[in-house]
Amino acid sequence: MSASAQQEKPIKATIERTDEGYTIIRDGKPYFIKGAGGTSYIEQLKHKGGNSIRTWSTDGAKQILDRAQQLGLTVTMGIRMGVERHGFDYDDPEAVQEQLKRVRQEIIQFKDHPALLAWGIGNELNLHYSNPKVWDAVNGVAQMIHDIDPNHLVTTMLAGINQKEIDLIKEKCPALDLLSVQVYGGLASVPEQITAVGWKKPYMVTEWGPTGHWEGLQTPWTAAIEENSSEKAAVYKSRYEASIATDKRCLGSYVFLWGQKQERTPTWYGLFTEAGEQNAVVDVMEYLWTGKYPKNRAPQLNSFQLDGRKASDMIYLKPKQTYALDIAASDPNQDRLTTRWELLHESTDLKEGGDREARPEAITDLVREQAFDRAILTAPEEEGAYRIFAYISDGKNKVATANIPFYVGTRKQDEAAASPTGKGAYAFATTAVWADEFNQDGMPDTSKWSYDFGSPYQGWGNNELQYYTQADKKNVHIRDGHLHITARKEADNNRPYTSARLVSKGKGDFLYGRFEARAKVPRGRGTWPAIWMLPTANAYGGWPSSGEIDILEHVGYDQDVVHISTHTKAYHHSINTQKTASTKVSGAADDFHLYRVDWTPAYIKGFVDDVEIFHFSNEQTGFEAWPFDQQFHWLINLAVGGNWGGAQGIDDSVWPATFEVDYVRVYPLLQ
């Protein structure tokens, strides 16, 4: 440590309860974290109004702490912990003890530095883990830190927010001062989720940013579709203002990433490019931290198209053919814009939990620029997945970024490649093997449907507010050829709303096939209709280990945006890894639309009005990623509120609200 730092004393940080929530008291003064993850460009962080940085380990800690002190910044110092997905065994007492010994030396080395604010034990230790003893180890480290360092806060960083881990941490980790959560697309609902899982202590958000690569649209060849930099700036701002800025239990946050890294793409998470240019998110962070935008703003990107199509159009190109690249961009300061283009192979070195990924190989000489906003792309000769990038610069270190994934080849060839026979795409019968057309007025057919009723598992595991009734015509009936499920604001069994949930378990169970439903969603904030599937026998254990297939979900606060998803042990929303896609459907509450899933041994695809929006391939890595080799059954329900449906509150003027289904049909797999 530098001589100047050695002469300083540690600055004590504590947490105090206020009338509204909590606050950090550092050096006797209230301190709200305006931080960023990463140690690059920290001079810029200070200039933009930030006050803290977060690391993932103590690597280079001496230099980091000294530089932070010089700039008047604080540091939440990460402590590297063994993780199961990398082979660490928390059943091995010698390994755990050696880890504790190593961490102790790190704490002793840096505990008295005046820039230190807090210790972060591990990073996303709940990601793909199974051994709850990890939380015993976390508490052991936390207690050890308190014993030798009484001046700084201690936390651990979780991927997402879910009941199981919160319950375990409350039970096993009393030495933690606060919780840290890492959330991306769901940031706006964090205050409600924290309340729902019963966390009473303060918390901070140690990673947040754009919509995650696991949360948005995917192409049929499983390439994630990335927001452009202007879209990212908008969601960073709106999500921060809806959560971190307003929840008084939140002690601040660390935006991700104050720097650049390769994770799915070179631009997905970094607020800077590899050349050090700042995108529009940096401008937004300056506004959120200081209340003012910088004088020189990043370029605004309105659209980026390949062959007149956007990324969500799932673009297939022919080898060696030429296609137009078009940009619609402007500069708030009227600066002259220039564009550089880069063509990459689609990344195949895909990791999880932020693990290091290799940058894909660049392909040269296939883009011919015509103007800053137009170029000609010659599609590569070799069949496969690619991605074209545009970097629009103002010449003053500000940039807008966007990219479009595309596939060279045909859709038929892509599907054939996914078939284990290699003989072509899977095919389905043209006659349904099981269906309900809902043509008989009255109650649902009891030979096809039963009911889930009540409100177990803390509102069905999602903190939903409805009580599901059983065969009650006020909540479910068939009329005019449609199934009607109606949610009402009326108390039943200590729940403020009633509704219904139909299940075909034991009466309609299927392995593979084409599953169609024609439906019209309700309108109104607080509604959460779904048509989905669960395993009949739970061959691999309880949720999410045995899987879930969501054919249609819709939440009323995001009107006309519909979702198709799958959940497994490896990929589910509680750890921010779920496979999901969404699309805008004009008039989803006014007209019936067709929602469909094609389920085969090789993939699950999702369609809205016969347009593919979702694709999840069998990775052949075991049940954790692919439990979809067992029978599943239908569920149709209308929930009220909950972690997702109630994330923006409930409008009590919309009740009763009705979910209508025209039909459900199952077509068997032929190949």
Positions marked active-site: 548, 553
The helix/strand/coil state of 346 is coil
Q: How is residue 116 written in tokens?
A: 């230190």
Measured between alpha carbons, how far is 271 from 312 in angstroms, rounded to an integer? 23
Measured between alpha carbons, how far is 122 from 134 in angstroms, rounded to an integer? 10
Q: 204 and 54 in contact (C-beta within 8 Å)?
A: no
Residue type, position 618, single letter: N
Name the one residue in this structure whose structure tokens are 């519909």. 562
Closest CA relative to residue 598, chosen from 637, 644, 551: 551
Q: 64 and 258 in contact (C-beta within 8 Å)?
A: no
Measured between alpha carbons, how far is 627 from 649 in angstroms, rounded to an integer? 34
Measured between alpha carbons, how far is 581 from 368 in angstroms, rounded to an integer? 33
* Count of helices and strands (H, E) across the chain: 12, 38
Closest CA relative to residue 154, chosen from 204, 97, 197, 105: 204
Residue 156: strand pairing partners: 121
Burial (CB count <10 Å: 0-12, 13-18, 19+), residue 395 = exposed
**Treating both helix axes as pointing N-terminal to C-terminal, what angle do 163-172 and 133-148 enclose, rounded to 10 degrees?**
50
Name the one residue in this structure whose structure tokens are 């949610």. 487
Helix (H) or strand (E) holding 95: helix 93-110
Residue 564: strand pairing partners: 581
Closest CA relative to residue 649, chosen from 191, 197, 285: 191
Cβ neighbours for 438, distance < 8 A, ≥ 6 positions apart:
444, 478, 481, 482, 483, 661, 662, 663
Residue type, position 552, single letter: L
Measured between alpha carbons, how far is 663 from 306 in angstroms, rounded to an integer? 38
Measured between alpha carbons, how far is 198 from 96 in angstroms, rounded to an integer? 29
Q: 348 and 358 in contact (C-beta within 8 Å)?
A: no
3-state secondary structure 195-224: HHCCCCCCEEEEECCCCCCCCCCECCCCCE
The helix/strand/coil state of 396 is coil
Number of residues written out for the chain: 671
